[in-house]
Amino acid sequence: MQHETQFIGQSGAFLDAVERASRAASMNRPVLVIGERGTGKELIAERLHRLSSRWDEPLVTMNCAALPETLIEAELFGHEAGAFTGATKSRAGRFEEADRGTLFLDELGTLSMGAQERLLRAVEYGEITRIGASRPIRVDVRIVAATNDDLPALAAAGEFRADLLDRLSFEVITLPPLRVREGDIGVLAEYFGRRMAAELEWDRWPGFADHVMDALEDHQWPGNVRELRNVVERAVYRWADAEAPIAHVQFDPFDSPWRPQPPQHRRAPTAPSAIGAAANIVPAATEVDAIDDLRAAVDAHERTILQHALGKHRWNQRQTARALNLTYDQLRHAIRKHGLMEGQEEGA
C-alpha cells in the first residue's frame, strides 16, 4: 500500500486523532478508523502498522466495497481447487497473505452477513478456513478496519453483527472532517500548491491571491483533504503565470456552460457549484442575518465576484466584461471603484 505518508495539519482535533493512532499502534488489538471520505483513513491505517512491532511484516489492504459479494469470502479466506466454478487451483486469501502483519479492511460496513460471521471467527480464534477446505489454518493477523458508516446504528438495525463490532472496537479513531480543522486548510493548500509548482518546475511559488484563500477557507469540503488536493493542484497547473499569485480556483471540475444535461425524466434539481461561476457566490443564511450594513455587504460581494471573474480570465478585461454581461467601461469603473488595478496590466 503506497500512499502519501506525511501528515499535514496543526489543528487540535487533527493532532488528537494522530496521537491516538500513535498510542494504539503498539497494542496488538483491532482498531476501527471512522471518518468521511478523503479524511485520511488509509494514512492512519498505515501509521498503525508502521509504528507497531509488525512494521517489517506485510500490510495487506482489501477494499470490501470493490468486490461482488460472491467473491469477498474467497478473497478474504482463500479457496481450494474446485471449490467453485473457475477455481482451477488453490489460492491463499488476504488473511494468509497478512500473516504476522496487518490486514486493513476498507469500507468494512459493506461486508455481507456471511463474510461478517467468518470474520468474527477469524478475529476471535485466530483461525480461517479456505472455501472448500475442511481444516482451519492458524493466522496471526492484526485487523485495522475503516468505514464512513455509523456501525453502531447498523448493528442496532440488524445490518451489522453486534458481536463483530464488539471485537473490532478495542480502539476507535474518528477523524475530523477538514471543515472543522481550524487553520489546516491554509496549511494544506500551501503544501499542495508548492508541491505542484515544483512538479511544474516553477522557479518560485507565487502563493494564492487573498480572495482565493478566502474562498478555500469558506468551502465546506465534502471530499475533505482529497478534494482540497485536487482543487489546489488543478488551480496551480491551470495558472500559466508563475510570477503572479493564483487568482482563480474552480471547485467543481465539471462546471461548464457546455455541460451535458441529463434527459428530462432523469433531471434532478441542481444546486449551484461552490464557486463555479463567480456570480454564484451567495452568502449563507447565517451571514445574511449578521449583516448590519447592506451597502458595505453588497460592495464586498461585488468585489469578490470581480476578483474571481478577473482571475478566471487572467485579467483580460474585455473577456471578463463579456462574462459578467457588462460593457468594457462598466467593468473598468467597477475595477477602479474597488481598487483592483494595483500591479495589473490593462486587458486587451
In this structure, the answer to whether residues 300 and 323 fall within a common structural domain is yes
Decide: pTM greater than 0.85: no
Q: Indicate whether 4 belongs to any domain.
A: no
Q: Indicate whether 3 belongs to any domain.
A: no
In this structure, the answer to whether residues 224 and 327 fall within a common structural domain is yes
In this structure, the answer to whether residues 71 and 158 fall within a common structural domain is yes
Q: Which are the contacts of 10, defined by CB distance < 8 A and separation ≥ 6?
A: 183, 184, 187
Q: DSSP secondary-structure letter at 39? A: S
pLDDT score for 187: 96
- Averaged over 143-171, what is the pLDDT? 96
Domain of 317?
A: 180-258+271-337
Share of the chain above pLDDT 70, in %: 87
Q: Indicate whether 94 belongs to any domain.
A: yes
Q: How far apart are CA 39 and CA 177, in angstroms?
A: 6
In this structure, the answer to whether residues 140 and 38 fall within a common structural domain is yes
Q: How far apart are CA 221 and CA 200, in angstroms?
A: 25
Average pLDDT, the chain: 86
Planar angle of CA 197, 201, 204, nearest 5 degrees: 60
The domain total for the chain is 2
Q: Which of 108, 76, 78, 75 is nearest to 90 (CA)?
A: 78
CATH number of the domain enclosing 326: 1.10.8.60
Q: How far apart are CA 280 and CA 252, in angstroms?
A: 12
Contact 230, 265 (CB under 8 A): no
In this structure, the answer to whether residues 194 and 165 fall within a common structural domain is no
- Averaged over 151-155, what is the pLDDT? 96
Which one has a higher pLDDT value, 175 or 287?
175
Q: Indicate whether 5 belongs to any domain.
A: no
Q: How far apart are CA 164 and CA 104, in angstroms?
A: 16
Domain boundary among 176, 196, 231: 176
Q: How far apart are CA 315 and CA 307, in angstroms?
A: 9
Planar angle of CA 265, 267, 273, nearest 5 degrees: 175
Looking at 163-172, 226-235, 250-259, 296-305, which range is the least confident one? Answer: 296-305
